[in-house]
């Protein structure tokens, strides 16, 4: 991050969220600059998913503000659509549309939302599928692919919309171990291309390798935020140390 750099890609300030009486997120502050790679980790139930789901408006929040490339998130259809144009999201369960081919999964939003003609949309889709290294699967249905392939299609589907920010919520957690690698490699490619990334993951090797900063959450709070070297080798907080003892063997 350079000094005096332009506006942040994502700015979360004093954001809090409740599910009924239960406070899931407690006064979250997070600033992500364009091109930065953030890994979010923390124990189960600490609010990681909820936080990144707030960033593209899948969850409403009650206090504070979130801005994505200067566009503030308000629960209004118009602004949500504007924000979602800039933000791609990849889920743990892939969530491809099972009745559409890989290619149609990738062209659908281009054609329906961005009104790209079919031929152009397919060209963009094929380029992205090539990037995630599965152009040869484009005519298949999601159920005919392995989990790792499906997740890479989901990444390509998001990339087709040319997002400025990519959100990942445990993208490898439901994959068999031998498929984790291929998805992480795809994400590393993205990082190398300069994409702004926020990724919830427990893949600590990946975090160490590509993250600019690691954000550790516990009980709805950001407990610690540090570059990987510092985070893994000299964590400041006791709770971070305890967590690291559990996940890093």
Partner 1 sequence: MTVLLGYLHEILQGLTTTLSLFLISLVIGFVAATIVAAFQIRFPGVLAGAVWSLMFCIRGVPLLLILYVVYYGFPLLPFIRETALWTVFASPYWCAIICLAFVEMAFTSEIIRGAYYQTPKEQVEAARSLGLSSFQTFRVAILPAMLRNGFPPYTTEVILLCKSTALAFTITVMDIMGYANEIRARTLDIYQPLLIAGAIYICTVVVTRLILSSLFNMIAVGGAETADQK
Ligand X SMILES: Nc1ncnc2c1ncn2[C@@H]1O[C@H](COP(=O)(O)OP(=O)(O)OP(=O)(O)O)[C@@H](O)[C@H]1O
Closer residue to ligand X in complex, CB, 71/219: 219
- The partner in contact with residue 119, picked from ligand X, Mg ion, partner 1, none with C-beta cut-offs of 5 to 8 angstroms by kind, is none
- Per CB under 8 A, the list member of 89, 179, 191, 226 interacting with partner 1 is 89
Residue 173 tokens, joined: 């957690």
By CB under 8 A, is residue 101 in contact with partner 1? yes
Considering the complex, what minimum distance in angstroms separates the CB of residue 116 from partner 1? 13
Q: Do 25 and 50 touch, CB atoms closer than 8 A?
A: yes
**Which listed option, Mg ion, ligand X, partner 1, none, makes contact with residue 81 (CB within 5 to 8 Å by class)?**
partner 1
Task: Give, as ranges, the residues between 121 and 150 that touch partner 1 (CB under 8 A).
Answer: 141-144
In the complex, the residues that contact ligand X under the rule CB under 6 A are 19, 24, 42, 44-50
| Candidate residues 6, 70, 74, 81; the one interacting with partner 1 per rule CB under 8 A | 81
Q: Is residue 196 near partner 1 by the rule CB under 8 A?
A: no
Tokens 């936080």, located at residue: 51
Alpha-carbon distance 225 to 81, whole Å? 30
Give Cβ neighbours of residue 233 (< 8 Å, ≥ 6 apart): none
Selected from 38, 161, 175, 204, the binder of partner 1 by CB under 8 A is 161
Among 15, 36, 91, 214, binds partner 1 (CB under 8 A): 91
| Residues at the site binding partner 1, with contacts judged by CB under 8 A | 56-58, 77, 81, 84-85, 87-89, 91, 93, 95-101, 108-109, 112-113, 141-144, 157-158, 161
């Amino acid at each position: 991050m350079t000094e005096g750099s332009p506006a942040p890609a994502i700015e979360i300030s004093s954001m809090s969220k409740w599910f009924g009486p239960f406070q899931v997120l407690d006064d979250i502050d997070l600033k992500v600059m364009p091109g930065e790679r953030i890994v979010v980790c923390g124990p189960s139930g600490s609010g990681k998913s909820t936080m990144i789901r707030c960033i593209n408006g899948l969850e409403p929040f009650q206090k504070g503000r979130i801005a994505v490339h200067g566009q503030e998130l308000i629960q209004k259809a118009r602004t949500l659509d504007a924000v979602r144009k800039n933000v791609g999201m990849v889920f743990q369960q892939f969530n491809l549309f099972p009745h559409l081919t890989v290619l149609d999964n990738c062209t659908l939003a281009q054609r329906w939302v961005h009104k790209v003609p079919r031929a152009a949309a397919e060209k963009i889709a094929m380029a992205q599928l090539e990037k995630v290294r599965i152009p040869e699967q484009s005519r298949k249905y999601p159920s005919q692919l392995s989990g790792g392939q499906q997740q890479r299609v989901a990444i390509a589907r998001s990339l087709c919309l040319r997002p400025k920010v990519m959100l990942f919520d445990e993208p490898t957690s439901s994959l068999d171990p031998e498929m984790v690698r291929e998805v992480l490699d795809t994400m590393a490619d993205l990082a190398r291309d300069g994409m702004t990334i926020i990724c919830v993951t427990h893949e600590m090797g990946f975090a160490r390798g590509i993250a600019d900063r690691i954000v550790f959450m516990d009980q709805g709070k950001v407990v610690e935020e540090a570059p990987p070297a510092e985070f893994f080798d000299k964590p400041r907080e006791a709770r971070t140390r305890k967590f690291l003892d559990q996940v890093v063997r």
